[in-house]
Amino acid sequence: MTWSDQQPAHTRWAIRGTGSYLPERRVPSTEVARSLGLEDDWVEERTGIRNRHVAAPGQAASDLAAAAARDALDAAGLRPADVGLIVLGTSTPDELGPSTACRVQAVLGARGAAAFDVAAACTGFVFGLQAALGWLAAQRGAAPYALVIGVEVYSRFLDPADRGTAALFGDGAAAAVVGPVPAPYGIGPVTLGSDGTRAGDVLIPAGGSRLPASAETLADLGHTIHMDGRAVRGFIAEMLPRLVDEACEDAGIKPADLALVVPHQPNPRLVASLAGRAGLDPAQLMIAGEDVGNIGAASLPYALDRAVRTGRVGGGDLVLLAGFGAGLTWGHTLITWPAA
């Protein structure tokens, strides 16, 4: 008997539709490499990233997020009026306040939806999923659909001369509609974790209450992403195998039982290289970062959307979502994918 068989019918929720949006402008890695004074193949050879997308001037996180949300609602056959909750994960909000989710609510016209942001960096989608599940369960069916969105406009926060970040990050958004589903399908327990002692491994140091914006912070590039590449690489190499192991142990299954593992995509080449350490066949890993780069909170749901649209998942499949990112944060959940 699996966790899904033990869930009462009224607590079953699943992803009913996925969507994504990428800005029109696409920047190839050859262009990034040349701007850094490197050989044309330097970025792709080390990261597997061929392209990334960059938001147009004036295009904010909420614009990308709303487009992805519409795509997910269309896939689910729903309207904005059907949504009772919008949870949005991002590290690059429209502004420090109000929440970008409120901006998205207004753009969509989802007037009846509560809306708030989750600040869990690249794990934001998994944290947002947990928030949505708790809210849906408390509604007892009164508002049965929630939108969970991940979005980043990292291009506004990059030092173009820093090869450790300029080579990796891109802009994009992805979303999922969470709604009721019959047995035996559904999203399993969500496991979350954090290690605040390593908050300095990757961050945007200036612009908040600790280091407010000033002429000095601008001159010091304090409003750009600062990352300890070696520390972050070690964290990724440790975390993906650990999350697969934990999820399988909790569910009483083996890695071979997983139809698909959808991880955060910080560096496609590195993530793909971890399949063996995680006890997986490479075909079990959904790698989708080659043409978008690291899009943070949008990374995992974007890969999930690509998996859905390319037929990588089907009814009854066990799909593991595995997120990890700045904070440090991490989380996973196992889904018994619903039938079409």
> Which backbone phi and psi does 21 adopt, to 5 degrees?
-150, 135
Give the three-state DSSP class for 275. Answer: coil
Q: How far, in Å, CA of 95 to CA of 104, rounded?
A: 13
Question: Is residue 267 annotated as a catalytic residue, yes or no?
Answer: no
> Which is nearest to 198 in space by CA: 148, 234, 147?
234
Q: How far, in Å, CA of 122 to CA of 125, rounded?
A: 7
Q: 221, 204 in Cβ contact below 8 A? A: no
Task: Identify the active-site residue in 102, 267, 294, 332.
Answer: 294
Burial (Cβ within 10 Å: 0-12, 13-18, ≥19) of residue 162: middle
Amino acid present at 107:
V
Structure tokens belonging to residue 270: 């590195």
Question: Is residue 223 annotated as a catalytic residue, yes or no?
Answer: no
> Which is nearest to 278 in space by CA: 310, 247, 252?
247
Task: Identify the active-site residue in 51, 102, 248, 264.
Answer: 264
Task: Identify the active-site residue in 122, 248, 267, 332.
Answer: 122
Q: How far, in Å, CA of 334 to CA of 252, rounded?
A: 12
Q: How far, in Å, CA of 50 to CA of 292, rounded?
A: 8
Q: How far, in Å, CA of 300 to CA of 125, rounded?
A: 7
Strand stretches in 73-159, DSSP E: 85-89, 114-118, 146-153
Question: Is residue 102 annotated as a catalytic residue, yes or no?
Answer: no
Residue 85 falls in which region: left (phi positive, over 0), alpha (psi -120 to 50) or beta: beta
| Residues marked as catalytic | 122, 264, 294
